[in-house]
Each structure stands twice: as structure tokens, then as C-alpha cells.
Amino acid sequence: AQSVTQPDIHITVSEGASLELRCNYSYGATPYLFWYVQSPGQGLQLLLKYFSGDTLVQGIKGFEAEFKRSQSSFNLRKPSVHWSDAAEYFCAVGAFGNEKLTFGTGTRLTIIP
Amino acid sequence: EAGVAQSPRYKIIEKRQSVAFWCNPISGHATLYWYQQILGQGPKLLIQFQNNGVVDDSQLPKDRFSAERLKGVDSTLKIQPAKLEDSAVYLCASSSRTTGGETQYFGPGTRLLVL
């Protein structure tokens, strides 16, 4: 069975500082990996996804993520955060051949001035 | 392109009452999903439809939850009778295929509070 671990429940970052959100997955084959963002009272919006190929994936809003098979990780990064990045971030893993996603428990990001 | 629509946005009911949620996916999307998101947790898949057939309902509490997708477009999720632990946000999502890796587009969700 596939699973996702997001070890950081809550992260606080100063505006303009860099950001890294951690994600570790468990899956027996090559996974599909996703990062979604959820603002308060909103649905989930896709930031980026990894299927195959280049292990560094670029997404929307200046985010990127790197797939590291040896570490079973797919960490999300942004070089300089903006106050509007404050939200809940979810990592998810999908399986080849179907669309079922397994989500992590999320990381809440707070931005301080 | 219109996104995934859900209604109502909020619902408050008492335990043992019934409730229904409605979802209209993105036009042309064959696959529709219902997720349950309990406060402080990630979304959990309840049921997945491909057109009007069920692909996966392994995590749907079938003694109280039911869902249908008539004509392969709109879908309704029902809870009868509701329990306190059903308080959650119910998210609907859709995607255009089922071969894996396709982006799921989420609606704004229905926030349910069971008293």
C-alpha cells in the first residue's frame, strides 16, 4: 500500500526567506508524486507533479520539487516566500494505472512579516 | 473553463439526520472522486467513478454513505444517518482519464458539521 509522511505539521517562515517542505513516500514501484496547496475555505490546487524524467520539477507560483528515489522523498522548495503563500500544503502519491491518490496529513505554512 | 462545482458550501445537521452533497465536475471529465477531509488530516478517498460506474469504493462506509453518478456527469453523495465523526469537509474532484498521473481538479468542498 502506498503512504505519504509529511513530518512537519506547522512551519513558520519570514517573508522573503527560503522554504522547504518535506515529503516522504512509500510505494513499491515508481510513483506519481504531487504537491497541492489549500487556502482556508478553498479546495486543493495543484502546484506541481512528477511522473518520470527530470527529477527537478517546476511548478506554479515559483515552487519547485525534487524527486530523490534513494531517499523516497519529494521535497517542495521556494527561494523566497510571499505573504500570499500562507496556506496548507499537501503531498500526495499516486499509483501507475489508476488515479487513486494517497495524501499526507499536510504542513501548515505561516508567513511572518 | 468552469471548475468543479459543489453545493451546498456549508451544512449543519444533528446526528441521525440525513444529508446530501452535489458535485458537477469539469465538462468532459470522465472520472469523478469524493474525498473526506477531517480537520487536521489530508483528504481520504471515499469513492471513485469512471463515467457512471464505480471504480473504487473500498473506503466508503457503505452502511451509512451512498453515492451515485447518474448519466456519468453530476454526482450526489449521501449520508444517512449522520454521526458526529462525519463532521468534515467533503471534496469533489474530477480528472479526464484513469491511466495514472492525471491532474485531479478539486471543488471548494462542502463543510459538514454534525451536532
Which range, A31-35, A37-41, B9-13, has the best average confidence (pLDDT)? B9-13
Determine the average pLDDT of the residues in B83-106: 86
What are the tens digits of pLDDT across the range A52-90? Answer: 888 899 999 999 999 999 999 999 999 999 999 999 999
Do the Cβ atoms of A49 and B103 come within 8 Å?
A: yes
Do the Cβ atoms of A103 and B100 come within 8 Å?
A: no
- Provide the pLDDT for residue B70: 82
Taking CA–CA distances from B31, the nearest residue in chain A reads A99
> For residue A41, which residues of chain B lie inside 8 Å, CB to CB?
108
- Provide the pLDDT for residue A21: 98
Task: Measure in Å the smallest separation between the Cα of B20 and chain A Cα atoms.
Answer: 19
Sign of CA dihedral A110, A104, B85, B49: positive
CA angle (B112 as vertex; B9, B23 as ends), nearest 5: 45
Residue B80, pLDDT > 70, answer: yes
Percent of chain B, pLDDT > 70?
A: 96
What are the tens digits of pLDDT across the range B11-28? Answer: 999 999 999 999 999 998
Q: Would an 8 Å CB–CB cutoff place B96 in contact with chain A? A: no
| Interface A:B, Cβ pairs < 8 A | 65
Residue A96, pLDDT > 90, answer: no
Say which residue, A100 or B29, is predicted with more confidence. Answer: B29
Could you say which of B43, B44, B100 has the minimum Cβ distance to residue A94? B100
